[in-house]
Amino acid sequence: LAGQPLADEGPGVPAAAEFVRLRGAAEEHVRQRSAREDIPLADVYGRLAELLGWSAADTARAVELEEEQEAAGLQANPAIGPVLAGLPDLPLCYLTDTPHRAAFIARCLAANGLPDGPVLSSGDLGLLKGRGALFGEAVARFGVRPAEILHIGNDFQSDGVGTSAAGVGFRAVLAANPTRYEKTLDARSRDGGLLGPVLAGASRAFRLAEPGASGRAVL
């Protein structure tokens, strides 16, 4: 979706499917050469600019298009509302493993009605949850002990392993995780096609909006 307007208006991108390939190759290139645990989105698009001869304005526009598509596809996990409502009135912080900027993530959270709180992004800081380092940053930044933190997450690898390494409590909320069928459909995005990802997204949206109504068909 981000690649189509780039193919229409930007130099060097012949088609949306080709942008998928170029975008993936650029990220892999930057990751392989980075000494950080994670990389910022700006570095990925910096590599694309080198490959495609983009100007600074072209590059900024490409980043903007990716962020627009990312934001448009987001919605709050319905399962998180009751979880947050049942917690004590304590400071809230968002930790995320993503190349996206914390400022962008904060805007997305606000747009989806989630409570205010500082955002720590692995892309900004070069530190990942899964290795425990991003939790260590939260401990240092907010002056708390690891045992005083409860992390709520949906990924046993990054959230579960990372909290264990950092000595932080962990509570899993898994309702919004894609099923095996949804993962299979979504994998079709690798060749630039959108039908599989759209069907996967529709399936997951239905499950979350109508819990108990979907039965075994999408499990």
The per-residue pLDDT for range 49-93, each reduced to its tens digit, is: 999 999 999 999 999 999 999 999 898 888 888 888 888 888 999
Encoded amino acid at 167, one letter: G
55, 45 contact by CB (below 8 A): no
This prediction's pTM: 0.88
Tokens of 26: 């650029």
CA atoms within 13 A on the CB side of 106: 12
Query: Can you state the angle between helices 16-33 and 41-52, rounded to 10 degrees?
Result: 120
The tokens describing 198, both together, are: 């759209």
**What does the pLDDT read at residue 191?**
60
**Tens-digit pLDDT profile for the chain (219 aa)?**
888 888 887 788 888 888 989 999 999 999 999 999 999 999 999 999 999 999 999 999 999 999 999 999 898 888 888 888 888 888 999 999 999 999 999 999 999 999 999 999 999 999 999 999 999 999 999 999 999 999 999 999 899 999 999 999 999 999 889 999 999 998 866 565 788 888 998 998 888 887 766 555 555
Exposure string over 49-59, b if 16+ CB within 10 A, otherwise e: beebebeeebb
Tally the residues of the chain. Answer: 219
Alpha helices in 53-194 (DSSP H): 56-72, 80-85, 102-111, 122-125, 133-142, 162-166, 180-186
